[in-house]
Structure 1
Amino acid sequence: MGTRRILAAVIATAALAGLGLTGAATATAQGAPSYVTPSECRQGGGTPAINEAGNYCKGGMHDGQRVD
């Protein structure tokens, strides 16, 4: 009976550790600055609006990201 409890605790700990690593990776990705090059903007289907305020990519998969 004690072995089952230990095994259950190990499995629960591993599952929670996996969730923690996933959350940390997501937080890191969201905290990174969101810059793309003009060519990356075009390749993603957007149009770099370099002459407009903010220099953003319009449309495509990089929509709203700053163009640098």
Structure 2
Amino acid sequence: MHIRRILAAVAATAALAGLGLTGVATATAATAQGAPSDVTPSQCKQGGGVADLTDNMCKGGMHDGQRVD
């Protein structure tokens, strides 16, 4: 009886771990597809950042680290 409880707990843990990994993979794929790679200088400023045209990067704000086109 004790062994059955242990096996049931192990099976349940494995099933939940599999669901968790699937959810992470789906969330990562959705994020990668929806994020634009380039922003305009005005989009950078509107998002609260500063367009650094020497590095062609948006620094700060919601577009931080994205390339300025």
TM-score range, shorter chain: 0.5 to 0.7
Provide the residue aligned with 1:7 in structure 2.
9
Paired letter, 1:12: A
Provide the residue aligned with 2:24 in structure 1.
22
Q: RMSD value over aligned CA atoms?
A: 2.5
| TM-score of the superposed pair, with normalisation by structure 2 | 0.60
Which structure shows the bigger proportion of residues in helix conformation? 2
Paired letter, 2:22: G
- Aligned-pair identity in percent equals 25
- Matched ranges for 1:53-64 at <5 A: 58-59=56-57, 60=59, 61-64=64-67
User: How far off its partner does 1:40 sit?
Assistant: 4.2
Unaligned runs of 5+ in 1: 50-57
Residues 41 and 62 of structure 1 are in contact (CA less than 8 Å); yes or no, is this contact kept in structure 2? no
Residues 39 and 68 of structure 2 are in contact (CA less than 8 Å); yes or no, is this contact kept in structure 1? yes
Verify: 1:45 aligned to 2:47, yes or no.
Answer: no
Count how many residue pairs are aligned between Structure 1 and Structure 2.
Answer: 57
